[in-house]
Amino acid sequence: MPWTTSGTISVTNNSTTVNGSGTTWASAGLARAGDVMLIGGALFEVASVQSNTQLTLASNYLGANASGLSYALIHTGLLPAELAVQISDLQSKYLTTIAQLYEWETSANPTVDLTNPATNVTTAVTALQAFLTSLSAYATKTGAETLTSKTLISPTINGGTISNATLLSVNNGAAGVAGTFAGGDTPMVIYSGTGIAYISTEADVLNAIGIYAGGNGMRGIIGGNERWFAGNAVFRGGADNFQTLGDALHRWSVVYAGTGTINTSDGTQKHVRSELAEPELLAWGRVRWLVFQFLDAIERKGVDARLHAGTIAQEVQAAFAAEGLDAARYGLWCQDEIFEDVEEIVGTETVDEPVMETVDVPDERIEIRSGVPTLVRGTKPVTRQATQVRAVVDEAGDAVMVDRTGADGMPVVEPLMVDVPITTPVVRDKTERRQVSRGMRLGLRYDQCLVFEAAYLRSRLAAAEARITALEQGA
């Protein structure tokens, strides 16, 4: 630091006392033991400082008595007392904060005090362990109720039991989906139609979609109704003879099974009309049995696509019509309307999209050059969202100021600045998904087709046997 020369001094021959005039050696910390004082071309070590206007040399001044004499204090590198006190105070503040941070990390108490070293403001904050415990238990009431645009947890069905100490759960015996399931069933995962996790549709779980676990298996819930059940050695639908496996637009490719399907054929559950009538047999006699290839298989595999045997639903329909019958009246002939999801432009919307920029960033890599691993420093381009530095303001719109240490080592107060991502408004099409009919897809139940085939062949055999018998009797 610069030499101190302010004021003048008075000295006495063969004395160690130096008196100052207009000097501030003590209060400003401008002189301390170990410094060197230059008096009249001679150097003297400072032994001690008594006040702003008096200090003691380590050896006697040897020279003529003098007053109003100029001098120079050469500092040996030690900090001035005032600055040393400031640094010591700052160090004490930060040591206090560090100790508080350690307590925040390890304390089992719900809150700990944390002091801002810049403002000396002490605030009670949630301890780390308590915060992690609340996260693992999903136990924040305010957060649970505002995580999504919908009510994440309905206080109605929870009976007001949500609190900072309660797990995020449906805590109500009546929440077992319309009271259908046993009280031991527990909701595991529940989603809204848009995929947002929640445990209530506004006021109850009756319209929820989810998976429930009970003592004997798992149940899938849609619209508050059971749609499937998986238990020991069984996977079934949620209702008897009500649901389909797949649909006209979402067919299973192959079904692997150890045995054939079992179709209900209990006479107590049927109204029998009669045996197949003559028009029905004649209609089936018009049906051809064909060998064919599926068109989608030809697209995938070419002309080597496998050959299949069967008949054509359109030909069955035409054969029945030729005998005055409506094929749609019979369960062997099926038709299903096929719908396709399409996106339709319904307007425009303005959205903020990020502004991207490409910048060069430092890059280090190791290359083997002539057998020697060599560190190569350079740059590489990186594309990222552009940012701009903005001042932080409080809720009142005033700039947030922070204490910092300037380049000269002195404290300064300046605005708090942060990088803010840059976006630009973009107008784009707004679309909605809707279903459009792709027409009808025809199908056949081959088990019933084979029943018609067997009945037709039986009638032909009976007719042939009758004719043979008649011929034999006529002979």
Task: State the CATH number of the domain containing residue 449.
Answer: 1.10.10.10
**What's the chain's average pLDDT?**
80
Domain, as residue range, for 218? 137-237
The residues near 317 (Cβ < 8 Å, ≥ 6 apart) are 327, 328, 333, 442
Q: Is the dihedral of CA 383, 385, 388, 394 positive or negative?
A: negative
> Do residues 69 and 109 both lie within one domain?
no
Q: Does residue 225 fall inside a structural domain?
A: yes
Q: Is 70 exceeded by the pLDDT of residue 207? A: no
173 and 233 fall within a common domain: yes
Q: Which residues pair with 405 in a beta bridge?
A: 411
Higher pLDDT, 30 or 316: 316
126 shares its domain with 141: no
Q: What is the value of pTM for the model shown?
A: 0.44
Q: Domain end: 113, 133, 153, which one?
A: 133
Same-domain pairing of 458 and 324: yes
Kindly state whether residues 144 and 226 are assigned to the same domain. Answer: yes
159 phi/psi in degrees, rounded to 5: 65, 25
| Residue 181 predicted with pLDDT over 60 | no
Mean pLDDT for 422-444 is: 91
Tell me which of 204, 237, 270 is where a domain ends.
237
Instruction: Give residue-wise pLDDT tens across range 35-57.
Output: 889 998 888 999 999 999 999 99
d(CA 395, CA 399) in angstroms, rounded, equals 10
Are 126 and 66 found together in one domain?
no
Tell me what percent of the residues of the chain surpass a pLDDT of 70: 79
- Asked whether the predicted pLDDT for residue 316 surpasses 70, the reply is yes
Q: How many domains does the chain have?
A: 4
Considering 39-48, 73-82, 282-291, the range whose residues carry the highest mean pLDDT is 282-291
What pLDDT score does 244 carry?
Answer: 85
- Which of the residue ranges 131-135, 225-229, 316-320 would you say has the lowest mean pLDDT? 131-135
In a domain, 295, yes or no: yes
Report in angstroms the alpha-carbon separations of 347 from 253, 341, 428, 431, 433.
39, 18, 9, 7, 13
Please check whether residues 287 and 321 belong to one and the same domain: yes
In the predicted model, is pLDDT for residue 203 greater than 80? no
- Identify the CA nearest to 74 among candidates 40, 30, 110, 106: 30
Specify if 252 maps to a domain.
Answer: no
Q: pLDDT-based confidence at 298, cuts 50/70/90?
A: very high
Same domain, 44 and 107: no
pLDDT at 327: 96
The answer as to whether 333 is a domain residue is: yes
Distance of CA 417 to the CA centre of its chain: 28
The sign of the torsion formed by the CA atoms of 367, 373, 376, 380 equals positive
| Same domain assignment for residues 103 and 56 | no
Give the whole-angstrom CA distance, residue 312 versus residue 251.
18
Residue with tokens 């020369």: 5
For residue 414, pLDDT beyond 50? yes
Residue 242's pLDDT band (cuts 50, 70, 90): confident
**pLDDT tier, 187 (very low <50, low <70, confident <90, very high otherwise):** very low
Closest CA to 138 of 170, 169, 173: 169
Higher pLDDT, 223 or 461: 461
Question: Is the backbone of residue 40 left (phi > 0), alpha (psi -120 to 50) or beta?
Answer: left
**149/203 same-domain check:** yes
Q: Provide, rounded to the nearest whole percent, the portion of the chain with pLDDT above 90.
A: 42
Is the per-residue pLDDT at 195 higher than 50?
no
Please state at what angle helix 446-474 crosses helix 278-285, rounded to 10 degrees: 100
**Is the pLDDT at 146 greater than 80, yes or no?**
no
- Per the domain annotation, does 358 fall within a domain? no
pLDDT at 205 over 50: no
Residue-level pLDDT at 63 = 84
Q: What is the pLDDT of residue 374?
A: 92
| pLDDT bracket for residue 328 (50, 70, 90) | very high
Question: Is the domain of 195 the same as that of 106?
Answer: no
**Is residue 435 a part of any domain in this protein?**
no
In terms of pLDDT, which residue wins out, 63 or 378? 378
* Last residue within a domain, chosen from 172, 207, 237: 237
User: Which pLDDT belongs to residue 8?
Assistant: 94
- Is residue 215 pLDDT above 80, yes or no? no
pLDDT category at 77 given cuts 50, 70, 90 is low
Whether residues 326 and 451 fall in one domain: yes
Q: Is residue 334 part of a domain?
A: yes
Helical (H) or strand (E) element with 452? helix 446-474
Alpha carbon 152 to chain centroid, angstroms? 16
In a domain, 361, yes or no: no
Report pLDDT for 210. Answer: 57
Residue 219's pLDDT is 74
Give the integer Cα–Cα distance in Å for 57 and 15.
Answer: 8
